[in-house]
Amino acid sequence: MSKKPVRVVVTGAAGQIGYSLLFRIASGEVFGADTPVELSLLELPPAIKAAEGTAMELEDCGFPTLSKINISDTAETAFEGVNWALLVGSKPRGPGMERNDLIRDNGPIFVTQGKALNRAASDVRIVVVGNPCNTNALIALHNCREVPATRFSAMTMLDENRAKALIAKKAEIGVGAIRNLAIWGNHSSTMYPDFEHATAGEKSVEAAVGGRAWLEGDFMVAVQKRGAAIIAARGKSSAASAASACIDHVKRFMTKTPSGEWFSAAVPSDGNSYGVPAGLMFSFPIRSHGDGKYEVVQGVNLSAYARKKIDETTKELLEEREVVRQLLLR
Ligand code: NAX
């Protein structure tokens, strides 16, 4: 393999999502069979041993694309020269914990990591998965002034995939036929899965599922509560599906989006799109140019129903921003 290696750091590498994500990246699935991958695993000191175990298993897979594995408990070391930073590691929400407590607990992680990225990496794209991912991404980018804000994104692809799968099942068609299902706003229960502009094969989603009542009712609740349903069934939060969504997210940004299509990701709002205040990390319909650049799709005609949902999720993100205000530098 003569290509320059791609360096990828995964934080929380010994966690559940890390355990699914690392193998798929190492396999060549994301960057191609002819591109060597150097993995960097960042973990907290108590989980370094477990990360070493994961690294042994990665070696044992014999992936020809995996050229190197580094393990570290220091952000600056782990981030040295990385091209992709997949920020997964953060504290999960405990029983009885309020969302704002989680935001306050996890915020400082992204201050440290933002600053470390600022010092250690320049040609880098950052994807935040660790929750609350929109606001964590906001904190990281504010603490990383050397890297353009547009290189930061937060993951709402799992929500998009969940929404598509639910619609496909209801419409009794393959999930590949569902297109342009944008998630708007926060990766939380206020997100708005925009079924009004999504299509199912040649039909509107509304026509394919037999009317709007299910979409406004059971569907909306099912998408928003899917994470909780998985915890209830599995006893653990989504991991393989989250890792798979992270792979989709990276691939979608790397590939030119086909004409007329879009995907979902939270990116910094430019303040001129759909009335979303500037700077918020907001999930929009996105089109990638395939060369590292992307655009927020303009001209999506929002109904009064959609507008109300988007205003609700915007309000929540503004409140989250207030909770972490003192962590925002830029
Ligand atoms: P786990 O608890 O299994 O793993 C998290 C790992 O992160 C642990 O090994 C821990 O030691 C490590 N960690 C914690 N703080 C760290 C730090 N400062 N530096 C490096 N490593 C650190 O959680 P997992 O199931 O893997 O989930 C990880 C995160 O993804 C959670 O915040 C979770 O809420 C979030 N999720 C986000 C999703 C999304 O769609 N955006 C969906 C799935 C998931 O819920």
Termini Cα distance of the chain:
40
Q: What distance in angstroms lies between residue 200's CA and the mean position of ligand 1's atoms?
A: 33
Q: Which of 10, 11, 16, 17 to mutate for ligand 1's pocket (most ligand atoms within 8 Å of CB)? A: 17
Residue 297's pLDDT is 98
- Phi, psi of 22, deg, nearest 5: -60, -40
What confidence score (pLDDT) does residue 93 get? Answer: 74
222 lines ligand 1 (CB under 6 A): no
Ranges of residues in the chain with a pLDDT under 50 are none
| Residue 48, H or E segment | helix 48-60
* Cα 89 to ligand 1 centre (Å): 4
Q: Is the CB of 28 under 6 A from ligand 1?
A: no
pLDDT digits (tens, 9 = 90+) for 5-59: 999 999 999 999 999 999 999 999 999 999 999 999 999 999 999 999 999 999 9
Catalytic residue ranges: 187
CA distance 227 to 51: 25
Please name the residue that has the structure tokens 């009317």.
Answer: 211
Ligand 1 centroid to residue 121 C-alpha, Å: 22
Question: Residue 99: exposed, middle, or buried by beta-carbon count in 10 A (0-12, 13-18, 19+)?
Answer: middle
- CB of 17 within 6 A of ligand 1: the answer is yes
For residue 19, which atom of ligand 1 is closest to its CA? 26
Domains of the chain: 6-154 (3.40.50.720), 157-323 (3.90.110.10)
- Is the shortest distance between the CB of 230 and ligand 1 below 6 Å? no
**What atom in ligand 1 is closest to the CA of residue 245?**
40
Quick check: CB of 112 below 6 Å from ligand 1? no
In this predicted structure, what is the pLDDT of residue 92?
76
Length of the chain equals: 330
**Contact present, 39 and 22 (Cβ < 8 Å):** yes
Establish whether the linkage from the previous residue to 277 is cis, with ω within 30° of 0. no
Q: What is the pTM (predicted TM-score) of this model?
A: 0.97
Question: Which amino acid type is present at position 210?
Answer: G
In this predicted structure, what is the pLDDT of residue 101? 86
pLDDT of residue 16: 95
pLDDT for 305 equals 98
The packing angle between helices 99-120 and 133-142, to 10°, is 40
* Ligand 1 site, residue 131, Cβ cutoff 6 A: yes
